[in-house]
Structure 1
């Protein structure tokens, strides 16, 4: 399972990037309506969460000092950071994939306390893959909204 999730996480990162790059450059920070999130904002979330999941897998402790407002601010700033954003996505996807692949088989059912309830370590390990796949779909949805008027 660890090898599968590690590889799937790396592929999800590449697929997420490909979806972003298929959007016209001037639409990557476009919001389909009101407060709807942009494609760049979603990629920034994935880059950050992949990094924080490395720590979560290694420590099995959700940070007691987690600050949602600071996370939103960091995500907004990163979404405007161009090449830094893509570098962080690549770096953190590789890091989390390596950590996932290194988890001992006997630890997969270990419980990790989360603010919304307990998760197994295996569930935590699957989150980066799931989250990037979800956001790839959201970015593809944005692309479908743009299709008639893509340029």
Structure 2
């Protein structure tokens, strides 16, 4: 297994897990924002999933050598009509990103890509989609605890 295949598998697997955890939430809690004194920038679970899908597509475009449209994670809003649409968009975006990662050469991993914070080699960039989704999976798990769900949700199979 190559580094590219390993990372692509992580991207796809994390998207499926994040989609599962979104689905473990009651429908009304997927668009819920807790009231936390002094907190700023809190977002719903669906907004976080929408950001992850947008980020996956951003990195796919970047890694193809094209210029992605910049976005701010806090400007991404969920316009999903249903849970299934949110889950499918996330998984589709991860599949698209993983396909690009699988197609990278070893030279691409050493190549510098320009981001708003400066240049980074491809081997660092291919980790971003996975890390971003894992981070937001933790936030969604935290939202579950905040609304009182103490069940340990794990996919079957």
Shorter-chain TM-score tier: 0.7 to 0.9
Structure 1 partner of 2:138: 137
Q: Per-residue deviation at 1:67? A: 5.3
What stretches of structure 1 move > 6 A for 4+ residues in a row? none
Q: Take 1:22 and 1:138, find their aligned partners in 2: how far apart are those partners? A: 14
2:64 to 58, 73, 79: 58
Deviations 1:66-94 (A, max 9, x none): 3549x82xx3143x432433222121111
Change (3 A) 1:49 1:67: closer
1:134, 1:62 → 2: CA distance?
25
State the distance in 2 between where 1:148 and 1:77 align. Answer: 23
Alignment of 1:16 with 2:18, yes or no, is yes
- Confirm or deny: 8 A CA contact 2:47 2:78 kept in the other structure: no
Q: CA deviation at 1:33?
A: 2.4
Q: Report the CA distance between 1:24 and its aligned residue.
A: 1.4
Structure 1 gap segments, 5+ residues each: none
Work out whether 1:36 is the aligned partner of 2:38: no
- More helix by percentage: 1
Give me the CA root mean square deviation: 2.3
Q: Is the 8 A contact 2:46 2:78 kept in 1?
A: no
Query: TM-score, length-normalised on structure 1?
Result: 0.84
Of 82-91 and 92-101, the range deviating more from structure 2: 82-91
Output the CA distance in 2 between the equivalents of 1:6 and 1:29: 29
Q: What residue is the counterpart of 1:120 in the other structure?
A: 121
